[in-house]
């Protein structure tokens, strides 16, 4: 019996010692940024962005994201803050929700690719379209203001501009429970008044770096996919403009896959500096 007790106590001591070794191991330090090649670091960062996108587009509630990107108004692209990945693009869809927005949102969600859907208020004139917008928002996509009637703001009075911007913002808030955080003027046509109003409303004003789907020669899925991925304007942080169009919806999956094949991640709009709450 004494021998058995001694053996049991010895085993217990050994087990506790082993547990202590596991708990007190010091993790290997990660290499510093200077110790890794810039291209490798970009690839690693792109993987991290894509992993983060999976949670964002799933529609699951997550903690507020830290600002990782800031807008560069020189070409409306995005620059990384601190150590955020630089090889990324922002996907945006204008004229939502016309005919293909829900289909496009489902394509993007299946690919874990976040985007901003910029809304025209005149597309929200039925309960069916309001339900579509709510569903897109519930999928985890950001909703932006693209004015009520897609008017050229430079041709309107200040009161007319206010109505174009405020009416759609109020409608969006009534549908999804929050105000839009982004604004894009039709045709990229802004005025001093509209810029001030957008800022007052806590929205980030943006245009785009490049887009092609309104040009006749790119109103074809294959041609559009090719130019969106292979254009000379594709640079780090590019702000990609697309629209709710049949050919764009058909090309969208290939565009995302083509960009990723080139090593580009997708910016989560919630990580852009300057939107409400940041």
pLDDT tens digits, 140-166: 999 999 999 999 999 999 999 999 999
Report the relative pairing of strands 238-243 and 88-96 from DSSP bridges: parallel
CA–CA dist 107, 101 (Å, integer): 10
pLDDT value for 212 = 98
Q: Is residue 74 part of a domain?
A: yes
Q: Is residue 27 part of a domain?
A: no
CA–CA dist 64, 53 (Å, integer): 14
pLDDT value for 277 = 59
Q: Is residue 34 part of a domain?
A: no
Q: Is residue 36 part of a domain?
A: no
Counting residues of the chain whose pLDDT is more than 70, the rounded percentage is: 76
Counting residues of the chain whose pLDDT is more than 90, the rounded percentage is: 74
Q: Is residue 10 part of a domain?
A: no
For 146, the domain range is: 41-271
CA–CA dist 54, 98 (Å, integer): 26
Token match 């964002």: residue? 56
CA–CA dist 213, 230 (Å, integer): 14
Q: Does the structure show a pLDDT above 50 at 7?
A: no
Tell which residue, 70, 60, 88, has the closest CA to residue 256: 88
pLDDT value for 75 = 95
CB atoms within 10 A of CB 139: 17
Q: Is residue 174 part of a domain?
A: yes
pLDDT tens digits, 212-248: 999 999 999 999 999 999 999 999 999 999 999 999 9
Q: How confident is the model at residue 177 (pLDDT cuts 50, 70, 90)?
A: very high
Distances (CA, A) of 108 to 102, 116, 167, 260: 10, 11, 28, 13
SS3 219: coil
Q: Is residue 32 part of a domain?
A: no
Tell which residue, 135, 194, 189, has the closest CA to residue 169: 194
Token match 């806590």: residue? 202
Q: Is residue 24 part of a domain?
A: no
Residue-averaged pLDDT of the chain: 84
Q: Does the structure show a pLDDT above 90 at 128?
A: yes
Q: What is the pTM of this model?
A: 0.79
CATH number at residue 212: 3.20.20.370
Q: Does the structure show a pLDDT above 80 at 28?
A: no
DSSP category for residue 184 = -
Q: Which residues contact 55 (CB under 8 A, 6 or more apart)?
A: 62
Distances (CA, A) of 190 to 26, 49, 147, 168, 277: 56, 31, 11, 17, 24
CA–CA dist 118, 243 (Å, integer): 9
Domain count along the chain: 1
pLDDT tens digits, 58-109: 445 455 668 999 999 999 999 999 899 999 999 999 999 999 999 999 999 9
Q: Which residue has the higher pLDDT, 31 or 253?
A: 253
Distances (CA, A) of 132 to 11, 99, 110, 111, 171: 64, 10, 17, 20, 13
Tell which residue, 87, 83, 69, has the closest CA to residue 30: 83
């Amino acid at each position: 019996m004494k021998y058995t007790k001694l053996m049991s106590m010895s085993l217990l001591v050994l087990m506790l010692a082993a547990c202590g070794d596991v708990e007190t191991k010091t993790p290997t330090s990660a290499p510093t940024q200077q110790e890794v090649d810039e291209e490798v670091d970009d690839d690693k960062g792109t993987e991290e962005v894509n992993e983060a996108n999976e949670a964002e587009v799933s529609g699951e509630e997550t903690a507020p994201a830290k600002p990782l990107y800031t807008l560069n108004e020189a070409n409306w692209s995005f620059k990384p803050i601190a150590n955020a990945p630089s090889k990324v693009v922002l996907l945006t869809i204008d004229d939502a929700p016309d005919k293909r927005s829900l289909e496009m949102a489902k394509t993007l969600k299946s690919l874990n690719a976040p985007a901003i859907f910029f809304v025209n208020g005149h597309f929200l004139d039925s309960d069916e379209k309001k339900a579509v917008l709510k569903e897109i928002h519930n999928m985890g996509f950001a909703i932006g203001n693209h004015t009520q009637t897609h008017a050229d703001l430079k041709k309107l009075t200040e009161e007319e501009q206010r109505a174009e911007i405020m009416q759609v913002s109020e409608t969006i808030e009534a549908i999804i429970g929050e105000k839009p955080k982004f604004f894009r003027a039709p045709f990229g046509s802004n005025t001093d008044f509209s810029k001030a109003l957008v800022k007052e409303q806590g929205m980030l004003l943006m245009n785009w770096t490049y887009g092609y789907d309104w040009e006749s020669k790119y109103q074809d899925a294959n041609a559009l996919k090719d130019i969106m991925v292979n254009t000379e304007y594709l640079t780090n942080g590019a702000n990609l403009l697309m629209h709710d169009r049949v050919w764009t919806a058909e090309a969208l999956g290939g565009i995302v896959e083509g960009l990723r094949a080139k090593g580009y991640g997708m910016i989560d709009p919630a990580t852009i500096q300057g939107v409400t709450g940041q």
